[in-house]
Amino acid sequence: MGQPTATADVPAAATSAPASHQPEVTATGRPRRGHLAGLDGLRAVAIVSVVVFHLDPSWLPGGFLGVDVFFVISGFLITTLLVQERRSTGGVDLRGFWTRRARRLLPALAVVVPASILIARTVEADLLVGIRRQALGALTFSTNWLEIGQGSNYFAATSPQLFMNFWSLAVEEQFYLFWPLVMIGLLALHRRFALTEGVLAVLVLGVGLASAVGMALTYDASNPTRAYYGTDTHLFGLMLGAALAIVWTGPLRAYTTSRLWCAHRRWFVGAALATIAALFVLAGEEQAWTFALGIPLVSIATAVLMLAAVERPGALRSVLELPPLAWIGQRSYGIYLWHWPVILIVAQDIPTTAGTSAFVWTRVWAVVVTLALADLSFRFVETPVRRLGFRETGRRILRAFALLRSVRARRIVLGGVVASALVLGIVMVTAPDTSTTQRTIEDNQARAAAPRETEPAPTFSGTKSFTMPKGDEIDVFGDSMVVGSVPALEYYFPGIQIDARSNRRWSDGLTAIESAGSSLRRAVVLAFGTNAGTDPETVEKILDEIGEDHMVVIVNLHADRLSRIDGDNEALREIAAKHPNVALADWDGAVTGEDLQADGIHPSLGGAHTYAATIRQALADLSEKHTGKPVELKELPRP
């Protein structure tokens, strides 16, 4: 997340306690300057929630809100350091501030980006789609705006991006770049016009509220990425933390020890904990209120916990300072950088199906690898540069190289570095611009876009018939799932008629059915919902339009990283159960890890045959249900 450590930016004179001990405190029980107690523990809570969400969104639907916990911490800590430096030295050393930020952020980033690219290339080329743009965004902290410009969808995950999670690093780094300048201006106004800290805090909080309103207004249910990624629309947590810091570091700090706060502190903390827990569990990415209300609420709750932890000792601080939480919190930056590339690479290297024990074990392995890499990064990359600086670290690396005992050893090391750089360059240049999934969809699109027959198929008389239909008695309407399965559908059902395009919703299906009118064949297959979920009302309208004299099969959904899938499929199951002429093709139950493309959603070549076979079985089951005669399905060899 780019979040600073508790001591990364303090002046050289400041000290901090070892991570495994309670921080040193003053006679009043407050932590000494240089260590804000409990922040590492809060970071641990944030990073664990984000990682769990990315492992499988259904495990913690609102886990992505951990990003906003980080934002509040960053806004508070950075503003605290800026205000304290201004008061102690009379100014703010911008060069020193930005240098410390660079020391904190760049070393680990410079290792993660090339290493992830090289490893991903050995596993699955599709993981490198758009990698040049992604690498540029990662190394220039502009990922959020580049992906907004590209039209990416953070929550759809239909084209997995190796550095998708770096959008928040971009937001934070942009904050680190511009906020010191804003604070210098605010502090100048404070001195020139005798503005109180309360007025400054209100101004800062007003910016945050305006940003929250901006997120609510720009939210688009079909793709909330603009509202979620935008620096301008995702400032509330940062500004809330900054406003709290202005109060906490000034005369208004007395309000944080007021009688009201002290008397009801436990209730405030309990409410904050309950709010965060509830939002992590309930605030899914498909719900508009998550963006309009959930993000501000989790930010406010974080501010309450943070204030309670840093203000004075107590049960909350004791828990947040527990060694395991402190360990995770100190490595949270490395964990955040590594976890998503590791999850994608492991998922492609060991294909599994969500909901199986094998899937869980691959996720456990991804966590183990992530923690190991983050610890190595913390010990041997981040800490040395943060303590020694770029120049001294570079000197020591060169000195270690010069101390190699033989010329041959030096040549091997130098050759390895040069070879890795050359391979990285080749990989970057030859990285695909489109995924296998996209190329398959594009190749199949023309076949699916063939004009519909204007007359009904001669085998359909307009009366009910539930015998097993032949291919020329079947219409298929769908989205990219159908497009990706066109060759297999034509193989299983010769003569089948397909009307499918990418990015379709159930509302588009209704339009297509209405346009087909009386030309509908005896059996109709419907496959929508991948892009925007199940719309029960529209599905019912489609079934009414088709009529009860047609056999209808609805294909349910599968996606490894979409938390709404279970709810969507339950709604489809309930709809199918209400209509005697409707059967559900259980694609979600039939799919295996080998059946999916790299995105975890669209069928692979083998998966397309599983998809078609699942539809064929549903038609056979529907026929047997009405005719009482079992349908013998000939097993077709897979090419």
Which domains can be identified in the chain, with CATH numbers?
40-351+361-402 (no CATH), 436-627 (3.40.50.1110)
**Quick one: which H or E segment has residue 467?**
none
Sole residue written with tokens 């060899």: 637
Q: Does residue 218 register a pLDDT over 90?
A: yes
Condensed to tens digits (0 to 9), the pLDDT of residues 543-591 reads: 999 999 999 999 999 887 777 788 889 999 999 999 999 999 999 999 8
Q: What is the C-alpha to C-alpha distance for residues 613 and 553, in angstroms, rounded to an integer?
A: 13
C-alpha distances out from residue 46 to 233, 301, 472, Å: 20, 13, 55
* pLDDT confidence of residue 453: 52
Instruction: Determine the average pLDDT of the residues in 531-549.
Output: 90
Beta partners for residue 552, in sequence order: 524, 582
Query: And the tokens for 150?
Result: 């590209």
* pLDDT confidence of residue 253: 67
**Sheet hosting strand 582-585, strand order edge to edge:** 497-500, 474-478, 523-527, 551-555, 582-585
Strand residue runs (E) in 454-504: 474-478, 497-500
* pLDDT confidence of residue 182: 94
Condensed to tens digits (0 to 9), the pLDDT of residues 169-201 reads: 999 999 999 999 999 998 888 777 777 778 899
pTM summary value: 0.81
Nearest in space to 587 (alpha carbons), one of 510, 485, 448:
485
| DSSP annotation string for 265-313 | HHHHHHHHHHHHHHHHHH--TT-HHIIIIIHHHHHHHHHHHHHHHHHS-
Is the sign of the CA dihedral 509, 597, 114, 54 positive or negative? positive
CB contact at 8 A, 563 and 60: no
Condensed to tens digits (0 to 9), the pLDDT of residues 63-107 reads: 999 999 999 999 999 999 999 998 888 888 999 999 999 999 999
Burial 607-637 (b: 16+ CB within 10 A, else e): bbbbbbbbbbbbbbebbeeeeeeeeeeeeee
**Quick one: which H or E segment has residue 454?**
none
Query: How many CB atoms sit inside 10 A of residue 547's CB?
Result: 13
* pLDDT confidence of residue 410: 84
Strand residue runs (E) in 365-466: none
Query: And the tokens for 519?
Result: 């030309």
Higher confidence at residue 213 or residue 14? 213
CB contact at 8 A, 80 and 97: no
Task: Out of 135-139, 254-258, 302-306, 340-344, pick the least confident.
Answer: 254-258
Q: What is the DSSP letter of 497?
A: E
Q: Say how far residue 229 (Cα) sits from the centre of its chain.
A: 11
Condensed to tens digits (0 to 9), the pLDDT of residues 456-493 reads: 444 455 567 889 999 999 999 998 889 888 989 999 99
* pLDDT confidence of residue 16: 32
pLDDT band at 255 (very low <50, low <70, confident <90, very high): low
Condensed to tens digits (0 to 9), the pLDDT of residues 403-429 reads: 887 888 888 888 989 999 999 999 999
Query: And the tokens for 609?
Result: 């045959």
Query: And the tokens for 30?
Result: 């407050």
